[in-house]
Amino acid sequence: MDNGRDGDAMLAFTLNGEPAEGAPPEGASLLHLLRGSLGLSGPRFGCGEEQCGACMVLLDGRPGYACTLPAEAAAGRAVTTVEGLGTPEAPHPLQAAFLAEQAGQCGFCLSGILISAAALLQANPDPDEAAIRAALEPHLCRCGSHNRILRAVQRAASMMRAAP
C-alpha cells in the first residue's frame, strides 16, 4: 500500500529506532501524528508552511518538514526526531555542543535546527561556516542565537571527527 490508506487505518513505521504505529485522522500531517497520539514534543509547530523549520524531522535520514508531510508519508520508513538524536544520559555530540556553547535563548527553534545539523554532519563531517549556514537556512531563530548555533555545530563536528 503506498499512500492509499483507508480512514483511520493503522500506520506502521520506525520512530527513533523503535517500531511505532498510529491511526491519524484523515488529512493529518506527520507533525500531528508525532505530537498527537505518539506523544512527542520535540518537533514543533511554527508555521505549517515549510517556512520556519521548527517541525523538521529526518525521514530515512533526510530532513523533511513534518508540518506538511502527510502522516502516511511515514509508512514503512524511519522517522527521527530530536528525541531520537540523544538523551541527557547519552547526548548526541550536537546536543552536547549546543549545551557547551549555550546555543539558544527561548529554544523553540532548536529541535528543528538540531535535526538539520545532524543531517549535515552525516553528509559532511567537516563543514565550513558557509555550509552550516546553508544547511540551516530553512530555519528561523528569532532570538538571535545564530552565531552560537554556528559555533556549536562546528564544535560538534570536531567532536565527531575526533571520536567517530
Contact residues for another protein, defined by CB under 8 A:
24-29, 32, 35-36, 39-49, 51-52, 54, 81-83, 86-88, 91, 95, 98-99, 102, 104-111, 114, 133-134, 136-137, 139-148, 150
- Whichever of 45 and 77 has its CB closer to another protein, that residue is 45
- Whichever of 13 and 139 has its CB closer to another protein, that residue is 139
Is the separation of the CB atoms in 108 and 88 below 8 Å? no
**Closest approach of Cβ 163 to another protein, in Å?**
19
- Whichever of 13 and 32 has its CB closer to another protein, that residue is 32
**Closest approach of Cβ 114 to another protein, in Å?**
7
Nearest to 50 by CA among 132, 135, 131, 138: 138
**Closest approach of Cβ 72 to another protein, in Å?**
12
Is the separation of the CB atoms in 69 and 34 below 8 Å? no
The span from the CA of 94 to the CA of 130, in Å, is 18
**Closest approach of Cβ 125 to another protein, in Å?**
20
Nearest to 109 by CA among 148, 73, 74, 70: 148
CA 124 to chain centre: 17
